[in-house]
Chains A and B, each alone.
Chain A
Amino acid sequence: MPKRSIGFAQAGTQVCLSWFRLSIMKRFFIHVYELTAFSLRFFKEVFLPPYEFGEFADHLQNFGSRSFPLVSVIGLLMGLILALQTKPTLARFGAESFLPAMVAISVVRELGPVITALVVAGRVSSGIGAEIGSMKVTEQIDALEVSSVDPYRFLVVPRVLAGTIALPLLTAYADLLAVLGAYVFMFISGGMGWQLFVTSTVSSLSISDIVPGIGKTFFFGYIISIVGSYFGFRATGGTEGVGKAATSAVVFASFLILIMDFVLVKVGILLFE
Chain B
Amino acid sequence: MVKLFGNLRVSTIPISSYSNVPTFQYSVLLPYKAMIEIINLHKSFGDLAVLSGLTLSVARGETFSILGKSGTGKSVTLKCLVGLLEPDAGEVVVDSTRVDIYSRKALSEIRKKTGFLFQSGALYDSMSVLDNLTFNLSRHHKVTHAEAKEKSEHYLTLVGLSEAIGKMPSELSGGMRKRAALARALVIEPQILLYDEPTTGLDPITSAGISELIRDMQGRFGMTAIVVTHDILCAGIVSDRAGVLKDGLLKYTGTLNELAEIEDEEVKGFFRNPL
B131 to chain A, nearest CB (A): 11
Determine whether A140 belongs to the interface, using a CB cutoff of 8 Å to chain B. yes
For residue B79, which residues in chain A have a CB less than 8 angstroms away from its CB?
Answer: 142
Determine whether A34 belongs to the interface, using a CB cutoff of 8 Å to chain B. no
A147: which of B123, B125, B136 is its contact (CB, 8 Å)?
A: B136
Determine whether A202 belongs to the interface, using a CB cutoff of 8 Å to chain B. no
For residue B84, which residues in chain A have a CB less than 8 angstroms away from its CB?
Answer: 142, 145-146
B124 with A146: CB separation less than 8 A:
no
Tell me which residues from 78 to 99 in chain B have a Cβ below 8 Å from any Cβ of chain A: 79, 82-84
B112: which of A135, A138, A144, A148 is its contact (CB, 8 Å)?
A: A148
By beta carbon, the residue of chain B nearest A146 is B116
Determine whether B271 belongs to the interface, using a CB cutoff of 8 Å to chain A. no
Tell me which residues from 101 to 153 in chain B have a Cβ below 8 Å from any Cβ of chain A: 108, 111-112, 114, 116, 118-120, 122-125, 135-136, 139-140
B122 with A139: CB separation less than 8 A:
yes
A146 with B125: CB separation less than 8 A:
no
CA distance A69 to B84 in the complex (A): 41
For residue A139, which residues in chain B have a CB less than 8 angstroms away from its CB?
Answer: 118-120, 122
A143 with B118: CB separation less than 8 A:
yes
A138 with B135: CB separation less than 8 A:
no
For residue A148, which residues in chain B have a CB less than 8 angstroms away from its CB?
Answer: 108, 111-112, 139-140
Determine whether A22 belongs to the interface, using a CB cutoff of 8 Å to chain B. no
By beta carbon, the residue of chain A nearest B137 is A147
Interface size bracket, A side: 10 to 19
Looking at B84, B122, B135, B136, which has the most chain A CB atoms within 10 Å of its CB? B122
Q: How many residues of B contact A (CB 8 A)?
A: 20
For residue A50, which residues in chain B have a CB less than 8 angstroms away from its CB?
Answer: 139
A142 with B139: CB separation less than 8 A:
no
Tell me which residues from 140 to 168 in chain A have a Cβ below 8 Å from any Cβ of chain B: 140, 142-149
B82 with A146: CB separation less than 8 A:
yes
For residue B124, which residues in chain A have a CB less than 8 angstroms away from its CB?
Answer: 135, 140, 143-144
A140 with B125: CB separation less than 8 A:
yes
For residue B122, which residues in chain A have a CB less than 8 angstroms away from its CB?
Answer: 138-140, 142-143
For residue A147, which residues in chain B have a CB less than 8 angstroms away from its CB?
Answer: 111, 135-136, 139-140
A233 to chain B, nearest CB (A): 14
For residue B116, which residues in chain A have a CB less than 8 angstroms away from its CB?
Answer: 142-143, 146
Interface bits A102-143 vs B (CB < 8 Å: 1, else 0):
000000000000000000000000000000001100111011
By beta carbon, the residue of chain B nearest A140 is B122
For residue B140, which residues in chain A have a CB less than 8 angstroms away from its CB?
Answer: 147-148
For residue B120, which residues in chain A have a CB less than 8 angstroms away from its CB?
Answer: 138-139
For residue A146, which residues in chain B have a CB less than 8 angstroms away from its CB?
Answer: 82, 84, 111, 114, 116
By beta carbon, the residue of chain B nearest A55 is B126
By beta carbon, the residue of chain A nearest B194 is A146
CA distance A144 to B123 in the complex (A): 10
Tell me which residues from 32 to 84 in chain A have a Cβ below 8 Å from any Cβ of chain B: 50
CA distance A26 to B108 in the complex (A): 36
By beta carbon, the residue of chain B nearest A145 is B84
A242 to chain B, nearest CB (A): 13
A132 to chain B, nearest CB (A): 11
For residue A144, which residues in chain B have a CB less than 8 angstroms away from its CB?
Answer: 124
For residue A142, which residues in chain B have a CB less than 8 angstroms away from its CB?
Answer: 79, 84, 116, 118, 122
CA distance A229 to B96 in the complex (A): 36
CA distance A145 to B86 in the complex (A): 14
CA distance A135 to B169 in the complex (A): 13
CA distance A195 to B108 in the complex (A): 64
A209 to chain B, nearest CB (A): 40
CA distance A149 to B111 in the complex (A): 10
For residue A149, which residues in chain B have a CB less than 8 angstroms away from its CB?
Answer: 136, 139
A244 to chain B, nearest CB (A): 20
For residue B112, which residues in chain A have a CB less than 8 angstroms away from its CB?
Answer: 148
CA distance A142 to B111 in the complex (A): 12
By beta carbon, the residue of chain B nearest A144 is B124
By beta carbon, the residue of chain A nearest B109 is A148
Given contacts A138-B125, A145-B84, A146-B84, 17 further A-B contacts (CB under 8 A): A134-B125, A135-B124, A139-B119, A139-B122, A140-B122, A142-B79, A142-B84, A142-B116, A142-B122, A143-B116, A146-B82, A146-B111, A147-B140, A148-B108, A148-B111, A149-B136, A149-B139
Interface residues of A (CB under 8 A from B): 50, 134-135, 138-140, 142-149
- Identify 22 residue pairs between A and B in the complex whose beta-carbon atoms are under 8 Å apart, listed by A's number: A50-B139, A134-B125, A138-B120, A138-B122, A138-B125, A140-B122, A142-B79, A142-B122, A143-B118, A143-B123, A143-B124, A145-B84, A146-B82, A146-B84, A146-B116, A147-B111, A147-B135, A147-B139, A147-B140, A148-B139, A149-B136, A149-B139
